[in-house]
C-alpha cells in the first residue's frame, strides 16, 4: 500500500510495520483478517473452478471430460473446500476479525496471539486438504460428509482429508472462544448488550455454536481415523459398528454448522441495510433474539438429514416438527429486513444490491428448506439435485452473496480506496443472473428425480443440466469481472473515512485505513447503533474531534 499523506501523526496499520515477515507474526486483528482474506479467496477460487469442471462434465449424458473416479474426487474436494475452508470461516474470520473490534470500540480482540494461531491452523488444515491430491490413491472420494462405511473402505486419502477437517475445526473453535471473550470483556464503556450492533450479535451466537458443536465432529472424525488405521469397529457393520451412528454424530455438529455458515451473513445484512436506508434496522431486539433462538433450536434438528435412514417413525416426526420451528426465526428476520426499507431514504449502492440479493436468494433457500423439512416431500427429493439447489441457494446465494457484499462494503475501510462502482454493479447483475441459471434448474432436476453425486444421468435430465452448465459460465464471467474490478479498485480514487455515511463506530471513529489500535481514544457510546437522526451532524462532529 502506498502511504496516505495526512496531517499529523496518522499512521495506518499497513505503515506501522513493514515487510513480509511483519505480516507473518502480526497480532493486529486487521492484518490477520487480511491474511485470512487472501488464503480464503484462493481456496474459494480453486473450489469454484472445481464447480465449473463438474458442471462441464454434466453438460451431456455420458463421459465429457473426466472419468467417474475423478469426478467423485472433484465433488468431494469441492465440497470440503467450500464448507471447511470458505463458508464456515469466511465471514467470521475475515469480516469478524476486521470489524468486530471496531464495531464494539475495542483496540483488538481479546487474545491476539490466539487469533494468529487460529490462522496458522487454518492454513495447516488447508494444506493438508490439498495435499491429498499429491500422493497415495488420490483425494477422498466420499463426498464432504465422509459417510461410513464407504469412508472406511475406500482406498483414497480419507484419513488425511478427515484430519484436515479436524485441524480446521480447532481453528474455528479458537476463533469462537476469542470472539466470545472479546464481546464480554471489551465493549466500549456505555455499550450495553442491547446497544451492541447486530453483526457482533450474530458472531456471538455463531461463536457459541462453534465452541459447543465443533468438538463433536472433531471426535467423530477421529473415530473414522481410528477405524481406518486401527480397525476399531465403530461404524462399519463388517467390524461390528453402526453406519447410522456415524450419521447421527456427523449431523449433530453439521446441522448447527449450517447456522455457523449463515448467521454471520444475516448479521452483515442487518449491518448493511440501515447504512443505505438511513434509518434504524426494524426490530433490533427481535433480530437479536431470533439469532439466539436459531443457535439454540438448531441443535435439535439434525435428524432431518436422515429422514430416509431408517429412523423410527416418531423420531422422524419430531425432527420434522422441530425443523419447521427453526424456520420461524429466519422468516422473522426476513420480514424485519424488508420492513427496514419502509420510509427509508434509500441509496442503491453496490453493497445494498448484494444485501437485497441475499434476502431474495436466502428466501428461496429457506422456502425450499421447508420442502426438505416436510416428511413426504423430503422422501422424494432427499439426496437429489433438489438438495444441491437448496443448499447452494442458502450457502452461495445467502452467505456467498453477503460475503461479496461485505467486500464491497468494507473495501474503502480496508484499503482506503474506492473501486469502480458502475462496474461493480454490472458484475453484480451478471453474478445474480448466472447464479439463478445454475441453481434453479437443479431444483427442477431434483423434483424430476435426478439423484445427487451422479457422474452421469438418464437422457430425460439433459435440458436442465445444460441450462445449468451454461449458467455456470455466466456466473464465472460475473466473478471474474467482480474480482478484476476489485483488484483495480486498490488503485482507485481515495476514499474518505466514512464514504457510506454509516453511524457505527467502525466508520465514524476510525480512519480509512484504520490505525493500529483503531481508535485514538476509547470511543464513548452516545446513542444506539442504528440511530440515524441527524446523522450528518453526528458524523461531522466525530470527524472533527
Minimum gap (Å) between residue 249 Cβ and ligand HEM: 17
Cell 513493514 -> residue: 18
Q: Does 132 bind other proteins (CB under 8 A)?
A: no
Minimum gap (Å) between residue 328 Cβ and ligand HEM: 25
The CA-based angle 355-203-271, given to 5 degrees, is: 30
Q: Does 76 bind ligand HEM (CB under 6 A)?
A: yes
Q: Does 453 bind ligand HEM (CB under 6 A)?
A: yes
Q: Which of 201, 250, 396, 419 binds ligand HEM (CB under 6 A)?
A: 396
Please report, as residue ranges, which positions from 178 to 237 form the binding site for Cu ion (by CB under 5 A): none
Please report, as residue ranges, which positions from 418 to 447 form the binding site for ligand HEM (by CB under 6 A): 438
Q: Which of 43, 48, 204, 307 binds ligand HEM (CB under 6 A)?
A: 48
Of the two residues 54 and 482, which places its CB atom closer to ligand HEM in the complex? 54
Task: Identify the three-state secondary structure at position 12.
Answer: strand
Of the two residues 188 and 475, which places its CB atom closer to ligand HEM in the complex? 475
Minimum gap (Å) between residue 404 Cβ and Cu ion: 24
Kind and range of the H or E run holding 512: none
Please report, as residue ranges, which positions from 120 to 159 form the binding site for ligand HEM (by CB under 6 A): 143-144
Please report, as residue ranges, which positions from 369 to 388 form the binding site for ligand HEM (by CB under 6 A): 388
Residues 6+ apart with CB under 8 A from 46: 81, 130
Instruction: Give which of Cu ion, ligand HEM, other proteins, none residue 79 binds (C-beta under 5 to 8 Å, depending on kind).
Output: ligand HEM
The residue sitting closest to ligand HEM, measured at its beta carbon, is 51
> End-to-end alpha-carbon separation of the chain, Å?
26
Q: Which of 29, 31, 255, 278 binds Cu ion (CB under 5 A)?
A: 255
In degrees rounded to 5, what are phi and psi of residue 15?
-85, -15
Of the two residues 204 and 461, which places its CB atom closer to ligand HEM in the complex? 461
Question: What are the Cα distances from residue 224, in Å, to 211, 385, 539?
Answer: 21, 27, 55
Binding mask 55-74 toward other proteins (x if CB under 8 A, else -) reads: -------xx---xxx--x--
Residues 6+ apart with CB under 8 A from 89: 36, 40, 122, 168, 171, 172, 175
Three-class secondary structure assignment of 356-375: HHHHHHHHHHHHHHHHHHCH
Cis peptide before 275 (omega within 30 of 0): no
Of the two residues 404 and 535, which places its CB atom closer to ligand HEM in the complex? 404
Helices 112-131, 158-185: crossing angle, 10 deg rounding = 160
Instruction: Give which of Cu ion, other proteins, ligand HEM, none residue 51 binds (C-beta under 5 to 8 Å, depending on kind).
Output: ligand HEM
Q: Which of 257, 260, 395, 482 binds ligand HEM (CB under 6 A)?
A: 395
Q: Does 328 bind other proteins (CB under 8 A)?
A: yes
Kind and range of the H or E run holding 250: helix 243-277
Q: Which of 188, 364, 424, 430 binds other proteins (CB under 8 A)?
A: 364
Q: What is the rounded distance in angstroms from the CA atom of residue 119 to the CA atom of residue 130?
A: 17
Q: Does 53 bind ligand HEM (CB under 6 A)?
A: no
Instruction: Give which of Cu ion, other proteins, ligand HEM, none residue 415 binds (C-beta under 5 to 8 Å, depending on kind).
Output: none
Q: Which of 453, 462, 473, 477 binds other proteins (CB under 8 A)?
A: 453
Sign of the Cα torsion 466, 472, 477, 478 reads positive
Three-class secondary structure assignment of 138-191: CCCCCCCCCCCCHHHHCCCCHHHHHHHHHHHHHHHHHHHHHHHHHHHHCCCCCC
Of the two residues 167 and 213, which places its CB atom closer to Cu ion in the complex? 213
Residues contributing to the site for ligand HEM (CB under 6 A): 48, 51-52, 54-55, 75-76, 78-79, 82-83, 87, 143-144, 388, 392, 395-396, 400, 438, 452-454, 472, 475
Amino acid at each position: 500500500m502506498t502511504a496516505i499523506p495526512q496531517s499529523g501523526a496518522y499512521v495506518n496499520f499497513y505503515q506501522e510495520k513493514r515487510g513480509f515477515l511483519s505480516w507473518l507474526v502480526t497480532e493486529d486483528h486487521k492484518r490477520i483478517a487480511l491474511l485470512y482474506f487472501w488464503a480464503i479467496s484462493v481456496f474459494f477460487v480453486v473450489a469454484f473452478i472445481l464447480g465449473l469442471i463438474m458442471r462441464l462434465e454434466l453438460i451431456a449424458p455420458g463421459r465429457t471430460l473426466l472419468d467417474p473416479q475423478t469426478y467423485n474426487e472433484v465433488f468431494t474436494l469441492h465440497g470440503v473446500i467450500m464448507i471447511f475452508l470458505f463458508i464456515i470461516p469466511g465471514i467470521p474470520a475475515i469480516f469478524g476479525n476486521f470489524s468486530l473490534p471496531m464495531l464494539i470500540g475495542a483496540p483488538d480482540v481479546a487474545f491476539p496471539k490466539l487469533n494468529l494461531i487460529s490462522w496458522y491452523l487454518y492454513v495447516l488444515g488447508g494444506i493438508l486438504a490439498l495435499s491429498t491430491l499429491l500422493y497415495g490413491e488420490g483425494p477422498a472420494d466420499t463426498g464432504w460428509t465422509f459417510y461410513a462405511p464407504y469412508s472406511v473402505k475406500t482406498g483414497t486419502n480419507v484419513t488425511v482429508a478427515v484430519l484436515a477437517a479436524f485441524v480446521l475445526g480447532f481453528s474455528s473453535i479458537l476463533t469462537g472462544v476469542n470472539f466470545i471473550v472479546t464481546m464480554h470483556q471489551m465493549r466500549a464503556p456505555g455499550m450495553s448488550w442491547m446497544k451492541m450492533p447486530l453483526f457482533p450479535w450474530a458472531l456471538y451466537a455463531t461463536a457459541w455454536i462453534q465452541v459447543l458443536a465443533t468438538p463433536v465432529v472433531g471426535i467423530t472424525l477421529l473415530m473414522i481415523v481410528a477405524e481406518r488405521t486401527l480397525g476399531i469397529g465403530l461404524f462399519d457393520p463388517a467390524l461390528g459398528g453402526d453406519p447410522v451412528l456415524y450419521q447421527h454424530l456427523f449431523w449433530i455438529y453439521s446441522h448447527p454448522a449450517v447456522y455457523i455458515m449463515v448467521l454471520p451473513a444475516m448479521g452483515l445484512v442487518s449491518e448493511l441495510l440501515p447504512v443505505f436506508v438511513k434509518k434504524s434496522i426494524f426490530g433490533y431486539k427481535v433480530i437479536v433474539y431470533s439469532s439466539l433462538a436459531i443457535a439454540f433450536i438448531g441443535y435439535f434438528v439434525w435428524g432431518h438429514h436422515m429422514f430416509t435412514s431408517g429412523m423410527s417413525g416418531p423420531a422422524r416426526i419430531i425432527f420434522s416438527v422441530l425443523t419447521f420451528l427453526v424456520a420461524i426465526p429466519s422468516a422473522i428476520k426476513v420480514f424485519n429486513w424488508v420492513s427496514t426499507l419502509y420510509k427509508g431514504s434509500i441509496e442503491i449502492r453496490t453493497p445494498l444490491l448484494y444485501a437485497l440479493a441475499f434476502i431474495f436468494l436466502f428466501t428461496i433457500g429457506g422456502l425450499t428448506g421447508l420442502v426438505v423439512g416436510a416428511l413426504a416431500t423430503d422422501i422424494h427429493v432427499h439426496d437429489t439435485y433438489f438438495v444441491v439447489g437448496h443448499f447452494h441457494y442458502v450457502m452461495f446465494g445467502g452467505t456467498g452473496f453477503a460475503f461479496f457484499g461485505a467486500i464491497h462494503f468494507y473495501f474503502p475501510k480496508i484499503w482506503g480506496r474506492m473501486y469502480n462502482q458502475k462496474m461493480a454493479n454490472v458484475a453484480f447483475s451478471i453474478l445474480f443472473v448466472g447464479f439463478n441459471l445454475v441453481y434453479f434448474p437443479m431444483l427442477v432436476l431434483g423434483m424430476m428425480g435426478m439423484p445427487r453425486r451422479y457422474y452421469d444421468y438418464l437422457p430425460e435430465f439433459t435440458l436442465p443440466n445444460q441450462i445449468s452448465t451454461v449458467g455456470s459460465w455466466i456466473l464465472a464471467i460475473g466473478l471474474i469481472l467482480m474480482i478484476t474490478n476489485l483488484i483495480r479498485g486498490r488503485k482507485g480514487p481515495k476514499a474518505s473515512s466514512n464514504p457510506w455515511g454509516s453511524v457505527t463506530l467502525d466508520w465514524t471513529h476510525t480512519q480509512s485505513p484504520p490505525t493500529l489500535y483503531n481508535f485514538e481514544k476509547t470511543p464513548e457510546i452516545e446513542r444506539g447503533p442504528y440511530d440515524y437522526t441527524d446523522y450528518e451532524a453526528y458524523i461531522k462532529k466525530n470527524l472533527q474531534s
